[in-house]
Homo-oligomer: A and B are copies of this chain.
């Protein structure tokens, strides 16, 4: 039950006292999942918030042709949350699945609510997490709308090279909004240079 990675995540985001972090993470429990295992299935309600301590995972939807479209790739350390489902108790649209073996910490909404309303630092942390996630997502929309696939690939490779060591190319392709054969061709083109 070593919560150091979980606790350090709080410290890494903003200045906060050790005792307060320990109070916040008091109710978190740990578990692990094998690779290619579903953490949260679509059309279910997320009752937990998850901290990914180790590993790679993704969220995906099925399109009209029943192809999996990867909507997000997650890597430790980070919080993994279907905000709409967890906070508004709505069924998820996406399925959340591990890519590698993963270890997690989790807690439920009741504990989050208690902390949110009783610990000012946790409120600030929660909001900061939202702001950061929103901003990342916004950057991605901008890339999707303004850059061609090759540029998006190059940027991802530059910014998160480790993803290519841990996530299959077909998942990366759909995350970039292209087919796996297109990604393969783009990689071939670039390797020539």
Binding site for B on A (CB under 8 A): 61, 63, 69, 71, 83-84, 87-88, 116-117, 120, 123, 126-128, 130-135, 137-138, 140-142, 144-146, 174-177
Of chain B, the residue at the smallest CB distance from A143 is B144
Question: What is the CA–CA distance of A135 and B134 in the complex, to the nearest angstrom?
Answer: 9
Which chain B positions have C-beta within 8 A of A144? 141, 144-145, 177
Q: Mostly helix, strand, loop or mixed at chain A's interface?
A: helix
What are 28 A-B contacts defined by CB distance under 8 Å?
A61-B142, A61-B146, A63-B146, A69-B142, A69-B145, A83-B130, A83-B135, A84-B131, A84-B132, A84-B134, A87-B127, A87-B128, A87-B131, A88-B128, A88-B131, A117-B123, A126-B127, A127-B127, A133-B134, A134-B134, A134-B137, A140-B141, A141-B144, A144-B144, A144-B145, A145-B175, A145-B176, A145-B177
Of chain B, the residue at the smallest CB distance from A71 is B142
Which chain B positions have C-beta within 8 A of A137? 134, 137-138, 141
| One of B128, B130, B174 near A134 (C-beta < 8 A) | B130
Which chain B positions have C-beta within 8 A of A63? 146
Question: What is the CA–CA distance of A135 and B85 in the complex, to the nearest angstrom?
Answer: 10
Which chain B positions have C-beta within 8 A of A142? 61, 69, 71
State how many angstroms separate the Cβ of A78 from the closest Cβ of chain B: 15
Question: What is the CA–CA distance of A176 and B140 in the complex, to the nearest angstrom?
Answer: 14
Which chain B positions have C-beta within 8 A of A138? 71, 137
State how many angstroms separate the Cβ of A180 from the closest Cβ of chain B: 14
Which chain B positions have C-beta within 8 A of A117? 120, 123
| One of B69, B83, B84, B120 near A146 (C-beta < 8 A) | B69
Which chain B positions have C-beta within 8 A of A134? 83-84, 130, 133-134, 137
